[in-house]
Structure 1
Amino acid sequence: MQLKEPGIVVGVSNRHVHLSQEDLERLFGKGYKLTPTKDLGQPGQFACDERVDLVGPKGTIENVRILGPVRKNSQVEISRTDSFKLGINAPVRDSGDVQGTPGIKIKGPNGEIELAKGVIIAKRHIHMLPSQAEHYGVKDKDLVSVYCDKEGRRLIFQDVLVRVSEKYALEFHVDTDEANAALLNNGDYVKIVEKF
């Protein structure tokens, strides 16, 4: 097995919500603006002070963090484990690909909304700049394999989506279920597998 250098930093993505400005105002009040609390690994992205409750057919998950900035369309990203608690059969999708996905009720302090679609389990992926894609020998939308070298839980993630843009920073994103399976934490490093 050959591994491409250098390693890529891991970003573990917990359940979260992206909101449109319209939905944000329905949940928090007219003219409401998000309150950034922490910058995320991708430029311009941030975790917010604001939290909401997700209400599914079988259960509720409270205090789910909103990520900013606001988007054109609202979207909810959960893990497979979360889907069991909520009673929602969320598909694995790339962010933004919500056609044919289930909806959910979201409760905020000033109201609630019912999304007709938008609940996904995010496809594991790597963000990178065009120069980094050239270095690794990949292009946007390629699928690669990623090796995780944590003793006792070494594994290879296959079908990892490559996302290339001048707006990105180099980072491997997995959800909490995937991270737990490989004993991965924020700030760990993984490597793209060239051949195996």
Structure 2
Amino acid sequence: MVRTMMDRTMIEQIVTQVLTLGSNPEAAGEEILGIPVGISNRHIHLSAYHVEVLFGKGHTLTPKKELKQVGEFAAAETVTLIGPKGVIQGVRVLGPARKITQVEISHTDGFSLGILPPLRDSGQIVGSAGLIVVGTAGAITLSEGVICAARHIHMSNVDAQRFGVSDGDRVTAEVDGPRGCLFKNVLVRVHPSFCLEFHIDTDEANAVGLKNGDQVRLPQGEGV
């Protein structure tokens, strides 16, 4: 009789554990698909020609710190941005050199400089804002090329398959915490060399209390 009672108790405990695991994907060992956050401070991408204008003929960018995306780095070089109403010094150059020069700042930076950078996907600079860029050996005047970069997610092909999305998709990223929110219209950028990362600017990160390395996720029905 005692043995029968013990067996029944063990069975009840096992059933309870199975039911609990079934309602808790993480406890059951299912993968929780989090996306690391990378906050983009103001920076500039330079063409090879503009590198020489700003830092001297024959000059190439000096890598200072590797970035998460393969082959990209924060350079030792910095520039000064001059707008109609203000100046921002020490703006980091990111390498390697690109085909076109592009300045990425926040809307708050735009207020300080006295310009209105449009919200754009990277590379879409036609009709964007302009300013003066000063280096150690010269200066350039940009008639366009200054944007507020739209939020986006870098993914490898493997990551894209895991999340059920494709290059060019627009998804929603969910933020937990006291200031939890939904970031809509997030562009998905897929390339075999990309590392998984959600890029937002400092204005967006500060508004919801996100830090580098925090994670967001795609709500159910978004991709997965």
Amino acid at match of 1:180: N
Question: RMSD over aligned Cα, in angstroms?
Answer: 1.2
Larger radius of gyration: 2
TM-score, normalised with respect to structure 1: 0.95
Q: Does 1:58 align with 2:85?
A: yes
Q: What residue number does 1:189 align with? A: 215
Select the residue among 184, 189, 199 that pairs with 1:173.
199
Whole-angstrom CA distance in 1 between matches of 2:32 and 2:117: 34
Select the residue among 21, 43, 50 that pairs with 1:16.
43
State the shift of 1:154 in Å: 0.8
Amino acid at match of 1:182: V
Amino acid at match of 2:157: P
Q: Which structure has greater strand proportion?
A: 1
Amino acid at match of 2:124: D
The count of corresponding residues between Structure 1 and Structure 2 is: 192
User: Is the CA contact 1:7–1:191 (under 8 Å) kept in the aligned structure 2?
Assistant: yes
Gaps of at least 5 residues in structure 1 are none
Percent of matched pairs sharing the same residue? 53
TM-score, normalised with respect to structure 2: 0.83
Q: What residue number does 1:92 align with? A: 119
Instruction: Trace 1:74-153 onto structure 2 (pairs within 5 A).
Output: 74-150=101-177, 152-153=178-179
State the shift of 1:184 in Å: 0.8
Amino acid at match of 2:175: C
Whole-angstrom CA distance in 1 between matches of 2:129 and 2:215: 33
Counterpart secondary structure, 1:127: strand
Amino acid at match of 1:159: N
State the shift of 1:194 in Å: 2.5
State the shift of 1:193 in Å: 1.5
Which whole-Å deviations, capped at 9, do the CAs of 1:61-113 have from their partners, x for residues lacking one? 11100000000100000001001001111111111111111111000111100
Whole-angstrom CA distance in 1 between matches of 2:176 and 2:122: 27
Whole-angstrom CA distance in 2 between matches of 1:25 and 1:194: 49
User: Is the CA contact 1:10–1:189 (under 8 Å) kept in the aligned structure 2?
Assistant: yes
Whole-angstrom CA distance in 2 between matches of 1:159 and 1:194: 16
Whole-angstrom CA distance in 2 between matches of 1:45 and 1:194: 32
Q: What residue number does 1:6 align with? A: 33
- Structure 1 runs (4+) deviating above 4 angstroms are none
Amino acid at match of 1:85: S
Which whole-Å deviations, capped at 9, do the CAs of 1:111-138 have from their partners, x for residues lacking one? 1000121000000000001121111111
Whole-angstrom CA distance in 2 between matches of 1:194 and 1:41: 27
Q: What residue number does 2:57 align with? A: 30
State the shift of 1:9 in Å: 0.6
User: Is the CA contact 1:93–1:122 (under 8 Å) kept in the aligned structure 2?
Assistant: yes
Q: What residue number does 2:28 align with? A: none
Whole-angstrom CA distance in 2 between matches of 1:161 and 1:193: 15
